[in-house]
Copies of this chain bind each other. A is one copy, B any other.
């Protein structure tokens, strides 16, 4: 496949400078792109590489110097490049149907153009939309519902009655709808509280590998539209995650916590149960959030405090030993001074 620079500019809603007719058939970085390829400048740090790149064209912003290169000027070169990457690298999907070695239960509804690989097992009453791909060794329990254009990678499990929206991608080994961790004390032991709710994953969510999202005790654990979840994340029962959140690898969210929209959790963050995190809040990696977080707050540390305050205190932490020594020495000096002052007084006339 190749495209003219003008065609690409139209796709990106950008403006050509230079020759709109040159043909582009691939892309690369400022260093790796060559003849017939397009590259991009997103980080001003690399601006001077535009002069020396061997690429045939460059995607850049209006403020950047194109060094006379053929270029497409856009508002967001990074996004534009991502779109070109999609254009040039996505192979058309070929539906393979239900392959030998896949197992379907009773009353399964299948949309059109599905691909269901060997080793995948689909429980009774499952409903599957159009253009769904189920890679090998996926398990869908009874009553699961998948929307259109869903991709579940090898080894994913979706437990009984969970519902997954359109265009959702779930990577390998992830578990949707395992029982929430709920027990009532009974003497010294623990009585299991049945977890009879489910998980609902809204449209355009992507979930990484080996994640666990527990079903609600009674109601719904919900992942809001467009939210992106990285690998090895834990989402406990009854959590409600808003739209377009970003949850980085190994973060954990305890039961019944609620995240607003566009919240960012760094890697290995812990959110305790039953709290609310406001829209656009950002929690820095490894932090432990113990209470409600207001919209737009930026927190870090355990327990989490405002990020800037935490940086200031963390910078002083290594000085604690010298601070303690100073303090002790000041105490000694103070005692001497107090004594001396007493002496000065008593010798005063």
Contact = CB atoms under 8 A, between A and B. Distances in A.
Interface stretch (A3-11, A61-69, A241-249): A241-249
Given A100-B103, A178-B208, A232-B212, A184 B327 contact: no
Interface in A102-133: 103, 117-121
Contact of A286 (B86, B210, B270, B317): B270
Nearest to A193: B82
A345 interface: yes
Given A90-B194, A250-B250, A181 B208 contact: yes
A349 interface: yes
Interface in A69-83: 76, 78-79, 81-83
Contacts of A337: 334, 337-338, 341
Contacts of A194: 82, 85-86, 89-90
A52 interface: no
A92 interface: no
Contacts of A86: 192, 194
A154 interface: yes
B318 A310 contact: yes
Contact of A103 (B32, B119, B173): B119
A46 interface: no
The count of identical subunits is 3
Contacts of A44: none
A330 interface: yes
B171 A175 contact: yes
Contacts of A324: 316, 319, 323
Given A318-B305, A344-B344, A212 B208 contact: yes
B313 A321 contact: yes
Interface residues of A, number: 118
Interface string A200-239: 0000101011111010001000000010101110101000
A90 to B, nearest CB: 7
Contacts of A163: none
A54 to B, nearest CB: 16
Contacts of A214: 208-209, 231
A193 B85 contact: yes
A327 B172 CA distance: 55
A37 interface: no
Given A250-B234, A327-B326, A175 B209 contact: yes
Contacts of A243: 188
Contacts of A159: 153, 172
Contacts of A83: 191
B244 A190 contact: yes
Contacts of A252: 232, 249-250, 267-268
9 contacts: A82-B193, A103-B119, A119-B120, A119-B139, A172-B178, A189-B204, A189-B244, A190-B228, A286-B302
